[in-house]
Structure 1
Amino acid sequence: MQVIQFKGVRLWLLLMLGSLLAGCGINNIPNYDEQVKAAWAQVQNQYQRRADLIPNLVETVKGYARQEQETLTAVIEARAKATSIQVDASTLDDPQKLQQFQQAQSQLTGALSRLMVVSERYPDLKSNQNFLALQSQLEGTENRIAVARKDFIAAVQRYNTEIRTFPGRLWHSVMYSDLPIRENFEATSADAEKAPEVKF
């Protein structure tokens, strides 16, 4: 009878310990890590959406502005470079890889901006329905990229805060020491910290 009671007490203690551990944040770190990975996947998804729109946009502009070959070539090359650098969940912790990815995307953004400036010189192009639809989709995608990056930044901040504060710091050192501090997006354009100069 005593053996049965001892097993019952042990089982009860294990259940209590398990419920205490579950309630004290032991699962927060892997949950937040997965949220970071999911948020990054959404960032990649939106950048890919933008990359998929570019060939049609370039072809449409090419039909109206053949003499703008240099700008069109710059967009195509920037797209090729941006799509060649992949950062997935396994390389997300590599700051150099993340910086390369960000720089390639910034170059593509710059090339697309120049393409939009070029389009202003061609009234027929600006009124082309296909161009207008592509331009609208591109603007929407840029907004989605901004939202996806914001969500990624928030997920990284939540994750990094969890592993740097108590009790997450304790759980990180004991159980999840293989999960590193995550890198975040930074302004990557030259002189990004300076306000642009406006001249009239």
Structure 2
Amino acid sequence: MSVAIAIVIAVVVILAVAGAVVTYNRLVRKRNRTDEAWSQIDVELKRRHDLVPNLVHTVAGYAAHERGTFEAVTAARSAAVEAGARADPAAVSAAENALGRTLRSLFAVAENYPQLRAEEGFLALQEQLTTTEDKLEYARRYYNTSVRDYDSAIQSFPALLIAGPFGFKPRAFFDADTADRQPPTVEFPAGGPRAPAG
């Protein structure tokens, strides 16, 4: 009887150890996927940061008197690069949102100069920035999905028994600026909209 009990105990211990190993490896895969997703965001942010000086320089050639706007964009870019070096999603998110707002003000300046909007170099930079923003949005979604899965895994039982002792820490989401995601307001002149001619 004691041999049977010893065998049962040995099987339980082996199953527990095997379960712990499988759980640990699953958490490592999820953490690595989250780190990989963050590196994709980092690549797109660096590409964005590299485009900003060229945009400022191009617009400054047409609107030199808008110095305050150019300084604000340059300062926001520097803050974003500095935040990126810390790799803290909350700090990066805040700095990138500030950079996005100053870039919108730069494009508002550009709207006042039709000859600038027609210049091929400016149009190419604008297109590259748009493409980068699209890639950044995709990378953000992928990262946030990876963070959700990872955080859920380390907070679920029985994985949390492995996560705590082995240093698996929750990750922060990368939030995008939602200030300009409201639908545009359409205003009509006094008297309301005009009926189409016909």
TM-score grouping bracket, smaller chain normalisation: 0.7 to 0.9
Of 54, 69, 79, the match for 2:77:
79
CA deviation profile, 1:132-190 (whole Å, cap 9, x unmatched): 000000001111111111111011011011112233223324x52x111222124567x
Q: TM-score, normalised by structure 1?
A: 0.76
Cα separation, 1, equivalents of 2:20 and 2:154: 16
Partner of 1:70: 68
Query: Would you say 1:35 and 2:33 are equivalent positions?
Result: yes
Query: Which stretches in structure 1 are left out of the alignment for 5+ residues?
Result: 1-12, 93-97
Partner of 1:185: 174
Contact 2:44 2:135 in 1 (8 A): yes
Q: How many residues align?
A: 174
Contact 1:24 1:167 in 2 (8 A): no
Cα separation, 1, equivalents of 2:158 and 2:66: 59
Give % identity. 33
Of 97, 106, 113, the match for 1:106:
97
Distance 1:187 1:47, change over 3 A: closer
CA deviation profile, 1:98-135 (whole Å, cap 9, x unmatched): 33222111110000011111111101000000000000
Partner of 2:136: 145
Deviating 4+ runs (over 6 angstroms): none
**Secondary structure of the equivalent of 1:67?**
coil
Distance 1:30 1:101, change over 3 A: same
Please give the residue correspondences for 1:20-59 in structure 2 after superposition, counting only pairs within 5 Å: 20-21=18-19, 24-59=22-57
1:20 is displaced (CA, Å) by 4.6
Cα separation, 1, equivalents of 2:106 and 2:19: 56
Cα separation, 2, equivalents of 1:144 and 1:195: 21
Please identify the structure whose Cα radius of gyration is greater.
2
Matched letter for residue 181 of structure 1? P
Contact 1:28 1:168 in 2 (8 A): no
Please give the residue correspondences for 1:155-170 in structure 2 after superposition, counting only pairs within 5 Å: 155-170=146-161
**Secondary structure of the equivalent of 1:163?**
helix
Query: Would you say 1:129 and 2:95 are equivalent positions?
Result: no
Partner of 1:5: none
Partner of 2:195: none
Q: TM-score, normalised by structure 2?
A: 0.77
